[in-house]
Structure 1
Amino acid sequence: MARANPNPERPPPTTPRVNILTYHRVGNFPDRMPSHRGQYCDLPRFEAQMEMLGRCGYTVIGLETAVRGLRGIGKLPPKPVVLTFDDGYTDFLEFVTPVLLNHGYPATVYAVAGMLGGRSSWVAPEGLQPAPLMSAAQLREVRALGFNVGSHTVSHPRLAQLEDSQIVEELMVSKHILEDALGARVGHLCYPYGSHDLRTVHAAAEAGYYTGTTCLRAVATPADDLLTLPRKPISQGNSSLGVLWKLLTKNKPRTPPLRRP
């Protein structure tokens, strides 16, 4: 028999849970993308998704606020959501920032430090057209608008496939490049392709990062290592209802997340 709550005026404590959403490019794209739909989100759909979050009682918070809540040193608002944008495309400045500023939503954008002002050449082998990436000046503009900038390594490799020295270089050099460009600390990391292993996580900690986001599809809880936080990807085919469904479900990863000993 379940025991009654000894203080009925105060509900029993619940485990903090934060949904972290993953976006890549946002813009005006054809309804039917040939492949890699997870790389795209059509602008009207993105606008509707942001409207839906407010209507359905979700609170968009920054990654730092999420970290404090997950560590138990800050209180999380009801139904917290974090927005992250991988790769640092110029689409973020052109299309995303006006929508987010209109709603007052914070976000974190992860930049590929060795390709600032260039193009996403790593997508070419996958049959996609490389797209322009924000320059250092544009990243400073993004930060001045109140958004966070994190590292997406130097060259967007699959980190778990690299030698130890290469992993260290990708993580440390990218951090230094971005900190020099922004004049501010960079403490957030996103693993390209979600590729990471314990070597990578330990290297990230040694480099001075305090969060790392992955491609594990789940909700973030205090049980997660802050350097292997799960996220839920949003793709071209997701309507507002589709995003809502992802927020309400897919809360446990298919494979166990890594944790440092």
Structure 2
Amino acid sequence: MSRGINILMYHQVGEFAPMKAHRSTYCDHRRFAGQMAYLARFGYTVLSMDQVLACLRGEAEIPPRAVALTFDDGYENFYEYAFPVLKRYGFPAMVYLISGFLGRRASWFAMDGRDTPPLMSAERLRQLHREGIDFGSHSVTHVRLANEKTQRIREEVTRSKHKLEDVLGVPIMHFCYPYGSHDRRVVEAVAEAGYQSATTCVRAPATIADDPLTLPRKAVSWGDSLIGLFWRLHVKNTPKEAPIRRPGHTFADQR
């Protein structure tokens, strides 16, 4: 069986009061630092999303203990807490941005009665890009795409790509589905917009059997200890539902 790549999903990293709900959208900064130290200490290879694609396409060998780090939404606390740790270990990371909210607050949090944390500004993104952080698209307005009409879907995935390319001056080739919400219409819109990869919330390692536009990830939760991280990295997850795979568009089909 081909090796897989564990694509880890983070959201906010920082100092948070204990919570019972939405735990996968928070990570205590001390635990995050410990998790990155664990990856470094025990020989995990942290790949960029470009490297993930190259490995799954067969252009490079998948290394043992391959991991990729992704961060959804683009919170300012990424810069304060996560980036210094990533820089310490030389780890690449992919941050998925909501193009219509740059420099604003995550207003969708208000629906849950939670605080609305600030998102990174265009200036901050350019600073981090110069430091080697990679960026992808997370739509324009963070809507559940599978619930939208087809024209709105196309606007969300295309306009976000163009806006971020204008801000950063580089091609934006990676997408992440807000809330993991996607159906075949959404996947086809992402393909038509020219993205090379897209990530979901399906919990499993990414393998050559996957469609590059429906890659699975594993969420790291607020309460995850190092034992919890180890479990996520080494226990095989069986997806609760069959992932969308376009005919002829898995990595295996491309070989």
Give the TM-score taking structure 2 as reference length.
Answer: 0.95
Alpha-carbon offset, residue 34 of structure 1:
4.5
In 1, Cα distance between equivalents of 2:165 and 2:43: 35
| 2:230 equivalent among 240, 244, 249 | 244
Per the alignment, in what secondary structure is the counterpart of residue 178 of structure 1? helix
More off after superposition, 86-95 vs 251-260: 251-260
Per the alignment, in what secondary structure is the counterpart of residue 83 of structure 2? helix
- Runs ≥4 residues deviating over 6 A: none
In 1, Cα distance between equivalents of 2:65 and 2:22: 29
| 2:35 equivalent among 30, 43, 49 | 49
Match of 2:107 in 1: 121
| 1:77 equivalent among 63, 76, 83 | 63
Asked if residue 64 in structure 1 is aligned to residue 50 in structure 2, the reply is: yes
Mapped contact 1:16–1:69 kept (Cα < 8 A) = no
Residue deviations 1:17-51 (CA, integer Å, cap 9, x gap): 10000000001112x22421111100100000011
In 2, Cα distance between equivalents of 1:158 and 1:219: 24
- Residue 150 of structure 2 aligns with an amino acid whose one-letter code is D
Asked if residue 138 in structure 1 is aligned to residue 138 in structure 2, the reply is: no
Match of 2:209 in 1: 223
Alpha-carbon offset, residue 225 of structure 1:
0.4
Mapped contact 1:16–1:70 kept (Cα < 8 A) = no
Match of 2:8 in 1: 21
Per the alignment, in what secondary structure is the counterpart of residue 134 of structure 1? coil
Match of 1:89 in 2: 75
- Residue 160 of structure 2 aligns with an amino acid whose one-letter code is S
Match of 1:160 in 2: 146
Asked if residue 212 in structure 1 is aligned to residue 212 in structure 2, the reply is: no
More off after superposition, 249-258 vs 177-186: 249-258
More off after superposition, 53-62 vs 211-220: 53-62
Residue deviations 1:51-73 (CA, integer Å, cap 9, x gap): 11122221111111111100111
In 2, Cα distance between equivalents of 1:139 and 1:236: 25
| 1:178 equivalent among 142, 164, 184 | 164
Match of 1:6 in 2: none
In 1, Cα distance between equivalents of 2:74 and 2:64: 29
Aligned residues: 247
Alpha-carbon offset, residue 123 of structure 1:
1.5
Mapped contact 1:38–1:234 kept (Cα < 8 A) = yes
Mapped contact 1:154–1:174 kept (Cα < 8 A) = yes
| 2:179 equivalent among 179, 193, 197 | 193
Asked if residue 234 in structure 1 is aligned to residue 220 in structure 2, the reply is: yes
Per the alignment, in what secondary structure is the counterpart of residue 218 of structure 1? coil
Match of 2:253 in 1: none
| 1:37 equivalent among 2, 8, 23 | 23
Q: Flag the structure with larger Rg.
A: 1
Give 5+ residue unaligned stretches, structure 1: 1-13
CA 1:250–1:125: 2 relative to 1, 3 Å: farther
Mapped contact 1:213–1:230 kept (Cα < 8 A) = yes
